Chain A
Amino acid sequence: MAQQVIVLVGTRKGAFLLASDSARRSWELRGPFCETWPTNHVVADSQSGTIYAGGGNEWFGPAVWKSTDLGASWSHSSQGLAYEAGQAPVKSVWSLAVAADGSLYAGVEPAGLFRSTDGGISWSHIDGLQKHPSRPEWNPGGAGLILHSLVPDPVDAKKIWVGISAAGVFATEDGGTTWEARNRGTRADFMPEGQNYPEFGQCVHCLVMAPGGGGRLYQQNHCGMYRSDDGGRNWASIEEGLPSSFGFPAAVHPRDPDGLYLIPLNGDIKGRFMPEGNAAVYRTRDAGANWEARRTGLPQGSAYFNVLRQAMATDTLEPAGVYFGTNAGGLYASNDEGESWDCVAPHLPTITSVETLVIER
């Protein structure tokens, strides 16, 4: 059977799907889906092929959309996707992930975690995260108090890591009842001198897990890029060799735990766009010891876009494909592990998320 790759794109005005064969040279664009709702994250269950899209509409609130036919038809639900009466209402869904046991998780604004065991039809609140003693001191980042990174362990369904802006990284090993802050070694440059390594309160931008099951995580933070080899208990900086310590997305190689892609921006107070207007994806093949800029096919000298925190992904094909989408609506694809790039959809709405699904057909 032939393989097909589908790039799942979340935008401020609905979800889009781009499909190609395994060569990944030409792409068919479909969308917008989800009634053009602001869509923060579109993911797929790689087992069933079901696509889920999470977002929130200023009028109608948060919802998770679902398609079991690769986008031909969609339904939506937010049954149970709510805090207790009297709490600040859930505004939107920011992140989605399918866990090892098939559960679907949703991270929301204001920061919290919900779980569905019926494929997104109904939801229950994982309230253990709200009971962490640091909760009253969580402060929102620029995009709000959002749970944007949601990383279930690929084997052990009781282990989940989350990234919250700007509360930091938290992890549970009991399915969400108790949580531990895991930020040791990550900086908070925005805190007073001498208080730059707090237990929590860091501005994590994107948290991803390396393949291979070795407990390796990477994160792009507001203040640096980091690697952990012990499930987030300790972090080490890997920013040397990069043009800045600031950026939003991170994407791991699908098979190499030493392979990581980042898109550093020029800096947090310099406009937050491509350094000198030159677009580049930075790639490491040795877990962050060395970095190489990859620019072939990317705009040089005129690129004043940024790439949002969930807007870069890899696929599982060989060689791996790499994809990112810009706030200016351009979707770029590489079919050779980031060596060279093509703009495969130049004029989408602001791209909030990019994920991939590989299917046999």
Chain B
Amino acid sequence: MTAISEASRKRARAPVVVRLPAHLVVLFPGADRLVPLVARDVAEMVDGLDALWPGMRERLCDETPAIRRHINVFVDGRRAKLATPLAAGADVFVITAISGG
């Protein structure tokens, strides 16, 4: 029992891996495309990104609050919202929608 909860705590601390689009990263000097972060849900992940690179929250979220209309966040292959939980080690893709012009 003790061993299981220890393993569970370890999993909770294991980071998720966030992949950011190039044209977001270019807006934040020093930012990385591949970011390991400890976060329990997408909202916490955004908090973590904003702590690393202040202002990144405004680029990804509007004041609804919600992920911006033409930004897609995929968690383990499924489209996510701010409240979507993140399992330890989850793969998160932040992707910009197709846009013309």
In residues 52-94 of chain B, which contact A (Cβ within 8 Å)?
Answer: 55, 58-60, 62-65, 68, 70-71
Please tell me which one of the listed residues B55, B60, B97, B99 contacts residue A77 in the complex, with CB atoms under 8 A apart.
Answer: B55
Tell whether, in the assembled complex, residue B65 and residue A61 are in contact, meaning their CB atoms are under 8 Å apart. Answer: no
Chain B proximity mask over A75-89: 1 for CB below 8 Å, otherwise 0: 011110111111101
Q: Size band of the B side of the interface?
A: 10 to 19
Task: Determine how close the nearest CB of chain A comes to the CB of B82; give it in whole angstroms.
Answer: 12
Instruction: Note all chain B residues with C-beta closer than 8 A to A82.
Output: 58, 62-63
Chain A residue at minimal CB-CB distance from B100: A58
Q: How many A-B residue pairs have CB under 8 A?
A: 54
Task: Determine how close the nearest CB of chain B comes to the CB of A36; give it in whole angstroms.
Answer: 9
Tell whether, in the assembled complex, residue A78 and residue B64 are in contact, meaning their CB atoms are under 8 Å apart. Answer: no
Chain B proximity mask over A32-48: 1 for CB below 8 Å, otherwise 0: 00010000000000000
Known A-B contacts A12-B101, A58-B99, A89-B63; the reply to A79 vs B68 at CB < 8 A is: no
| Cα(A339)–Cα(B62), bound, Å | 47
Tell whether, in the assembled complex, residue B27 and residue A35 are in contact, meaning their CB atoms are under 8 Å apart. Answer: yes
Please tell me which one of the listed residues A79, A85, A90 contacts residue B65 in the complex, with CB atoms under 8 A apart.
Answer: A85
Tell whether, in the assembled complex, residue A58 and residue B62 are in contact, meaning their CB atoms are under 8 Å apart. Answer: no
In residues 21-53 of chain B, which contact A (Cβ within 8 Å)?
Answer: 23-24, 26-27
Chain A residue at minimal CB-CB distance from B29: A75
Tell whether, in the assembled complex, residue B68 and residue A60 are in contact, meaning their CB atoms are under 8 Å apart. Answer: yes
Instruction: Note all chain B residues with C-beta closer than 8 A to A59.
Output: 23-24, 59, 68, 70-71, 96-97, 99
Instruction: Note all chain A residues with C-beta closer than 8 A to B97.
Output: 58-59
Please tell me which one of the listed residues B23, B64, B71, B99 contacts residue A89 in the complex, with CB atoms under 8 A apart.
Answer: B64
By secondary structure, the A interface counts as loop
Known A-B contacts A59-B71, A82-B63, A86-B64; the reply to A35 vs B58 at CB < 8 A is: no
Tell whether, in the assembled complex, residue B55 and residue A35 are in contact, meaning their CB atoms are under 8 Å apart. Answer: no
Tell whether, in the assembled complex, residue A60 and residue B27 are in contact, meaning their CB atoms are under 8 Å apart. Answer: yes
| Cα(A361)–Cα(B22), bound, Å | 38
Query: Which of B27, B70, B99, B101 neighbours the largest number of chain A CB atoms within 10 Å of its CB?
Result: B27
A residues within 8 Å of B by Cβ? 12, 35, 58-61, 63, 76-79, 81-87, 89-90
B residues within 8 Å of A by Cβ? 23-24, 26-27, 55, 58-60, 62-65, 68, 70-71, 96-97, 99, 101
